[in-house]
C-alpha cells in the first residue's frame, strides 16, 4: 500500500493542477472601482476627474476643486458560463449562479490650486467560480475564490509650463493582502469508494477576508508593498489631456494556510488538515490614455493598458510532511487592453456615457482550465451620472463582457486521481458572458 506521503502529493497536485488561481489573467485582475469609469469601459486614464483617480491615474487628482472629496462604489460581477463536453469528458454543464461583489472607497483632499493627496481601498485581484458537485470537471475544481485587498496613498502636484499647458505628477505606495480558496473532489473509485473532498485555503494574513477587513492586515502577518507613479499633461486649457499611470507588481506574495482532506477512505490515511504555503508574484500594469474635448460638454477618450502577466511562470506550493513541493507550470504571457469611450454632459447636472473595449487573455492553451474559463473578450458599457445637490453625485453603469468561446484540449486534470489517470479532464468548449453593474456615490465637503 502506498505511503501517506505519496497520497498527499497526489491530493495536493490534483487540487492545484490547472487551478492556479493566484496566477491567472483577464477576469482575475480587476479594475472596476468606479461607476463613471465603468460606464466609459474603464477608459479613464486621461479623464480621472473624481476621487477614483487614486487608482486610475492619481495625477488627475489635481483637477479636483479645493476641498475634501470622497466616493464609495459597489460593483456586482455576474458571470454566466456553460460547458459543452467532448465525448468522454462528462456532461454539458452550466456554472452555478455565483457573483463577486466588489467594494471600493476613495478620499481626496485638494490643497489650494496645485497640490492634492488621496487614498483608497480596492480589490485589484479577485475571482469567484462555482460548479455543481456532479460535473465532469469536479476533480479539477468545484469552487475557486480569491480576494486581494489593497490600500493606496498618493500625492499629486501640478506645475504650469506655459500658456494653456500644465503638467501634473503623482507618486504613491500601497499595502496589499488577501485570501485564496480552492475546492475539488478526489477520485477514489478504484478503491470502490465515493469521492473525497479537498479544500485549500491560503491567506497572506489570517485576519484578512475581504476589502472591508483591510485594516486587520496591520495586526500581524505579512502584507505586500508596491508603488505607483503617474503623470498627466494638460494642453489647450485642458481641452486635451494625456495621462500615463504605472502600478508596480506585487512581489513575494506569501500565503499560508491549510489543505483539508475529507471523506477519503480510512485506508489512505489522507483525512485531516495539512499545513500549506505558497509564494508567488502578481503583475504590475501600465495604462495610458488621451482625452479630447472637441466642444463643451463632450469628452472622447482612447486608452491602452499593458499587464506583465509573464512574471507568472509557475505556481509552487509546499505541503507539510514527506510530500515535498508541488510545481504547476503556468507560462502566462503579457496582456493588452484597448478601450474607447465618450462622456456627454446633457445638462449641468446630467451626464451620459458609453464605451467599447477589447481585452486580451494571458492564459495559453496549454494551461487553460475551468478554474478560470478565460479568453480574449470584447465588451460595451453604458452609464449615467447625476448631481443630486451641490456636492452629492450618483453614477450608475452597466458593462457587458463577451468572452470568446474557448476549447480545452489539454491534460490539465488527468493526474488528479490517486489511482492513476482515467479521469475526464473536462475537455470541451467553454462559453462565458459576464454582466457588471455598478453604482458610485460621491461627496464633496
- Encode pLDDT of 154-178 as tens digits: 999 999 998 889 999 999 999 888 8
Question: Residues 304-308: what's their mean pLDDT?
Answer: 96
Cβ neighbours for 261, distance < 8 A, ≥ 6 positions apart: 11, 186, 196, 197, 198, 270, 271, 272, 274
Question: Residues 26-53: what's their mean pLDDT?
Answer: 92
**Sign of the C-alpha dihedral, residues 428, 329, 337, 152?**
positive
Q: Can you give the pLDDT at residue 97? A: 61
| C-alpha distance across the termini of the chain, in Å | 71
Q: Helix, strand or coil for residue 212? A: helix
State how far the Cα of 255 lies from the Cα of 231, in Å rounded to an integer.
33
- Encode pLDDT of 314-342 as tens digits: 777 677 843 445 566 678 899 999 999 99
Q: What is the pTM of this model?
A: 0.86
State how far the Cα of 328 lies from the Cα of 319, in Å rounded to an integer.
14
State how far the Cα of 441 lies from the Cα of 359, in Å rounded to an integer.
27
Q: Is the pLDDT of residue 7 over 60?
A: no
Contact yes or no for 61/154 (Cβ under 8 A): yes
Q: Can you give the pLDDT at residue 323? A: 43
Q: Can you give the pLDDT at residue 394? A: 98
Question: Residues 27-48: what's their mean pLDDT?
Answer: 93
Contact yes or no for 429/405 (Cβ under 8 A): yes
Q: Can you give the pLDDT at residue 21? A: 30
Q: Can you give the pLDDT at residue 99? A: 64
Distances (CA, A) of 130 to 126, 133, 399: 14, 9, 22
User: Would you give the DSSP letter of residue 350?
Assistant: E
| C-alpha cell read off for 132 | 455543481
Element (H, E) at 115: strand 115-130
- With 0-12 CB in 10 A as exposed, 13-18 as middle and 19+ as buried, what is 202? buried
Q: What is the distance, to the nearest Å, from the Cα of residue 190 to the centroid of all Cα atoms in its chain?
A: 39
Most confident of 194-203, 310-319, 376-385: 376-385
State how far the Cα of 182 lies from the Cα of 202, in Å rounded to an integer.
9
Domains and CATH numbers, the chain: 4-444 (2.40.160.60)
Question: Residues 55-59: what's their mean pLDDT?
Answer: 97
pLDDT grade, residue 219 (50/70/90)? very low
- Encode pLDDT of 116-132 as tens digits: 999 999 999 887 788 88
- With 0-12 CB in 10 A as exposed, 13-18 as middle and 19+ as buried, what is 171? middle
State how far the Cα of 106 lies from the Cα of 398, in Å rounded to an integer.
21
Q: State the residue for C-alpha cell 494574513.
A: 205
pLDDT grade, residue 416 (50/70/90)? low
pLDDT grade, residue 277 (50/70/90)? confident
Question: Residues 237-264: what's their mean pLDDT?
Answer: 89
User: To the nearest whole number, what is the mean pLDDT of the chain?
Assistant: 83
- Encode pLDDT of 68-111 as tens digits: 999 999 998 888 888 898 887 778 888 776 666 778 999 999 99
Phi, psi (rounded to 5 degrees) for 25:
-110, -160
Amino acid at each position: 500500500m502506498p505511503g501517506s506521503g505519496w497520497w498527499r502529493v497526489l491530493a495536493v497536485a490534483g487540487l492545484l493542477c490547472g487551478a492556479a488561481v493566484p496566477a491567472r489573467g483577464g477576469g482575475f485582475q480587476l479594475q472596476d472601482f468606479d461607476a463613471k469609469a465603468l460606464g466609459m469601459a474603464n477608459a479613464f486614464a486621461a479623464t480621472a476627474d473624481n476621487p477614483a483617480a487614486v487608482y486610475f491615474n492619481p495625477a488627475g487628482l489635481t483637477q479636483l476643486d479645493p476641498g475634501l472629496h470622497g466616493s464609495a462604489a459597489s460593483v456586482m460581477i455576474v458571470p454566466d458560463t456553460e460547458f459543452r463536453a467532448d465525448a468522454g469528458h462528462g456532461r454539458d454543464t452550466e456554472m452555478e449562479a455565483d457573483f463577486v461583489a466588489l467594494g471600493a472607497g476613495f478620499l481626496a483632499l485638494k490643497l489650494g490650486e496645485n497640490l492634492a493627496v488621496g487614498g483608497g481601498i480596492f480589490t485589484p485581484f479577485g475571482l469567484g467560480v462555482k460548479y455543481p458537485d456532479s460535473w465532469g470537471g469536479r476533480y479539477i475544481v468545484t469552487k475557486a475564490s480569491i480576494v486581494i485587498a489593497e490600500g493606496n496613498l498618493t500625492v499629486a502636484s501640478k506645475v504650469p509650463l506655459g500658456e494653456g499647458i500644465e503638467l501634473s505628477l503623482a507618486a504613491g505606495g500601497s499595502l496589499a493582502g488577501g485570501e485564496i480558496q480552492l475546492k475539488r473532489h478526489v477520485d477514489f473509485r478504484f478503491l470502490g469508494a465515493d469521492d473525497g473532498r479537498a479544500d485549500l485555503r491560503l491567506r497572506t494574513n489570517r485576519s484578512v477576508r475581504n476589502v472591508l477587513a483591510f485594516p486587520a492586515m496591520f495586526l500581524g502577518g505579512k502584507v505586500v508593498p508596491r508603488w505607483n507613479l503617474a503623470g498627466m499633461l494638460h494642453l489647450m486649457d485642458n481641452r486635451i489631456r494625456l495621462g500615463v499611470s504605472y502600478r508596480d507588481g506585487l512581489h513575494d506574495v506569501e500565503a499560508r494556510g491549510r489543505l483539508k482532506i475529507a471523506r477519503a477512505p480510512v485506508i489512505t490515511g489522507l483525512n485531516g488538515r495539512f499545513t500549506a504555503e505558497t509564494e508567488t508574484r502578481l503583475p504590475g500594469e501600465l495604462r495610458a490614455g488621451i482625452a479630447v474635448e472637441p466642444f463643451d460638454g463632450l469628452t472622447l477618450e482612447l486608452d491602452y493598458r499593458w499587464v506583465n502577466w509573464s512574471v507568472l511562470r509557475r505556481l509552487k506550493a509546499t505541503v507539510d510532511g514527506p510530500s515535498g513541493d508541488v510545481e504547476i507550470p503556468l507560462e502566462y504571457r503579457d496582456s493588452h487592453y484597448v478601450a474607447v469611450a465618450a462622456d456627454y454632459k446633457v445638462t449641468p447636472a446630467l451626464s451620459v456615457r458609453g464605451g467599447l473595449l477589447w481585452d486580451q487573455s494571458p492564459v495559453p492553451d496549454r494551461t487553460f482550465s475551468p478554474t478560470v474559463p478565460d479568453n480574449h473578450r470584447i465588451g460595451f458599457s453604458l452609464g449615467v451620472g447625476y448631481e443630486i445637490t451641490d456636492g452629492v453625485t450618483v453614477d450608475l453603469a452597466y458593462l457587458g463582457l463577451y468572452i470568446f468561446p474557448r476549447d480545452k484540449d489539454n491534460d490539465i486534470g488527468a493526474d488528479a486521481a490517486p489511482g492513476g489517470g482515467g479521469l475526464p479532464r473536462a475537455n470541451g468548449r467553454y462559453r462565458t458572458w459576464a454582466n457588471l453593474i455598478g453604482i458610485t456615490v460621491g461627496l464633496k465637503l
